[in-house]
Structures are given as structure tokens and as C-alpha cells.
Amino acid sequence: MFAALPRIWLDAPRRRDQEGLGVAHYAKTLSGTLDALGGKPALVRDAPLGDTRRQDRVTAWLRAQRSGPRPLAALETDGGWRSDLFAEAQSYFNRHGRLLEITARSPPQIMHWTYPVPLAMAGTRNLYTIHDLIPLQRPDLTGIDPRRHRRLLDAILGRADQLVTVSEHSRRALIDTLGAPPEAVTNTWQAAMDAVHGIRSDAPPAGLPSGGYLLAIGAVDPRKNLVRLARAWRQSGTSLPLVIAGPDGWKSRVVLRDLPTDPAPIRMPWLDRPALLDLIAHARALLFPSLAEGFGLPALEAMHLGVPVLVARGGALEEVVGEDGLTVTPEDENALAVAIARLALDEELRQGLVRAGQRRAQFFSQQAYGSRLAALYRAVAARPLR
């Protein structure tokens, strides 16, 4: 099947893994799905780090003062190319207000940038995944400068052959807020590639009792609504502990300071991927009343793993869950508390949500995701080069 697809490259900057959870997992799932279609996309990776990160930043800034395209070195390493252009592109955009153009001796038919980076490749079709417009719509929930981000997105919109996104909520935002033509935005949704294999161990990590805790996942930041969730958990009266799993994010100190302490949630700052999936699989329920999401991968993973979910009403999370999870207005602590109590006490409700969630998750299977990707790539590759 892959032989019938165009030749595709993906970006893999060093910082992506540091950004963790959703963005990194999206790129890995995209690459893995293309592998499953029968071939391996080439990756444009970061060059190795220099002596210090400060030297890297200074070098990138100095190089960014020059205008004109940059050649991508044709040094093949594990099926990909190493480039020091990711950091330079950020400085270049700050200096010139334009995307940094790169050239390659034999460019692919499609260069798919899996995040809105200020780069474009000459001689090919450029796709950009824009996961959400949270920095523009809810700048109070992110540390990203909304003015610079808008300028970057406008530059991408002017250069892209197609924008890709991950939910109808995000697609509508790109059309209504960014002004993208409807035909220029494709929603491929996402997949939960490694969650479909189910439970990996007989017990969750850290000695937690299987089925004996409630779980919240994600970076600790204001967007995840953790303070309100923890207060609602305490108000619900359940004896089940609340586990918060995820790294520190933007304004994490403020969030951690405001969490209740009597009782206090259990904090697990970092887990490797297998342990995180085990933590989800053994939870009594996943609680994910985030104030803004582009997709909401943990909810999909929980449904695949047979765990009921509670998500915020409205937006992308409700799209992903459909009618097969509990939805609550995320600012309503009383409603959150009632929903938490139901998940803790009503086993019939839980089992019904488990069955419904597993059925719902099939819409987001890797096979379905691969079909949507293949249709997108073939359609874009059929267009003439700009």
C-alpha cells in the first residue's frame, strides 16, 4: 500500500520530545502509522547539540541574520537528515517575519511539518499540522505570545499547500479565527497507536490498587483545570485517591500551590510510556475536564483501555468522547463533584461507559487513521507544485 503513496518526510526536532505528551505522541503515531502502511517516512531531525545550549542559541541567532534559503545537508542517518535549522528558523522568523526556506537535493513529494514551525521546503508540497488555536482563543491558558503566534500562523497559511488538524473543533477555529479557506484545512483526527494492546502488567505503578484510584493526566498547568478538579474530588466525598500524572507545565508552581492539601492528590510527575498506559488501564476512571484541548489523547487512550472517562462539555473533548463518556461544564465544581461520585459508586454506570467507550474508540483506530492520512496525501500530491 505504501508504494502507492507519495514520498513523505516528517520533522523531528529535538525539542519535540521535551514538549512531551500530546505533540510528541502525535508525531510518533503519524510516523508509526505510515510505517504500518508499508514504508518508513524520512525524518528531518535536529543536528547533535553543540558544547552548550547557550552556544547553540547564539549560533542560531547569528545565522538567522542572513536572508535567503538554507540547504539541507544530504547526510543520511537512519533514514533521515540531520539539520541545525530548527533553532535558526525561530530566530529567522523573529528577525525577518518570514518562514525560513530550506532546499534539498532530492526533495520528497510532501514535507509534513507536524507542528507550526517557521520552516518551508522548496520544490515540494508543504503540509502543516496545527493542533489548536488555544494561544489565540485562550491566551490566559498558555505561555505562548499570541501576537507572535498569530504572525507565524498567518505566514504558514500563506505558504502551506494544506493545513492539517486533529478535530472538527480545531478545524472550525482555523477557518473562523485564522481565516483559512475551508478547503485548505483537513481534519484527520488522531489514533492511540500503543494503547490498543491493553493492560501490560497486573498492577499499576507505585503500589496503587487496581481500580482503586481516579486519574488525571497532563502537564500541570492552568489549562488542565486541576485545582477545580481537585476541589470537586474532595467535595464528592469519595474515598478513592486522586492521582495527577504529568510533568510541570506553564505556571505549575501556582497550580501546585493552590491544590487542596487535606486530603491531597497523589502527584506522579513523570512516567515512561508503558507505565503511563498501565496507570490509565488500572484506574477506576479518567478525569479530564480540561478548559481547552485540540484533541484530548488521554480520553481516547482510556476508552481503548476500557476505562470510563469524564471530560469537559463542549469543544474537542466532547467530540472525541461523543455520548460514550460523562461530560460536565468544566467550570462547575458542583457538577464535577456529582459526576466524580457517580463514577466512584455506580458500577453499572461504569460498565456501560466502558463498553460504549471501547466501541467509540474504533473510530480512532490506527487503520481508520491510516485511511484518512492516505487520502489526504494522495490528494495533495496530485496538485501541481506552487
Render pLDDT for 328-377 as a digit per residue (tens, 0 to 9).
999 999 999 999 999 999 999 999 999 999 999 999 999 999 999 999 99
Confidence of residue 274 (pLDDT cuts 50, 70, 90): confident
Q: Which fold has domain 205-364?
A: Rossmann fold (3.40.50)
Helices (H) and strands (E) counted in the chain, each on its own, are 15, 17
186: phi then psi, degrees, rounded to nearest 5: -115, 130
Q: Residue 99: which pLDDT band, with cuts at 50, 70 and 90? A: very high
The rounded percent of the chain whose pLDDT value lies above 90 is 72
Q: Residue 4 pLDDT more than 80?
A: no
Mean pLDDT, range 94-112, rounded to an integer: 92
Could you read off the pLDDT of 209-227 as tens digits, one per residue?
999 999 999 999 999 999 9
The domains of the chain are located at 2-191+366-381, 205-364
Q: What is the pLDDT of residue 55?
A: 45
pTM above 0.85, yes or no: yes
User: Hey, which of 66-70, 103-107, 116-120, 267-271 has the most confident mean pLDDT?
Assistant: 116-120
Q: Tell me how far CA of residue 273 lies from CA of 10, 94, 193, 250, 371, in angstroms.
A: 22, 35, 12, 22, 26
Rounded to an integer, the average pLDDT of 290-319 is 96
Q: Which residues pair with 80 in a beta bridge?
A: 43, 77
pLDDT at 282 over 80: yes
Q: Is the pLDDT of residue 270 over 90?
A: no
Q: What is the pLDDT of residue 60?
A: 65
- 331 in Cβ contact with 141 (< 8 Å): no
Distance separating alpha carbons of residues 156 and 152, to the nearest angstrom: 6
335 is written with which cell numbers? 457538577
**Which pLDDT belongs to residue 366?**
92
Q: Is the pLDDT of residue 16 over 60?
A: no
pLDDT score for 52: 43
Is domain 2-191+366-381 annotated with CATH 3.40.50.2000?
yes
* Same fold: 2-191+366-381 with 205-364: yes
Nearest to 288 by CA among 205, 184, 218: 218
Res. 73: pLDDT tops 90: no
Banded model confidence at residue 45, pLDDT cuts 50, 70, 90: confident
Q: Report the DSSP pairing between strands 326-328 and 266-268.
A: unpaired
Q: Name which residue leads in pLDDT, 87 or 232.
A: 232
Which pLDDT value is given to residue 381?
Answer: 95
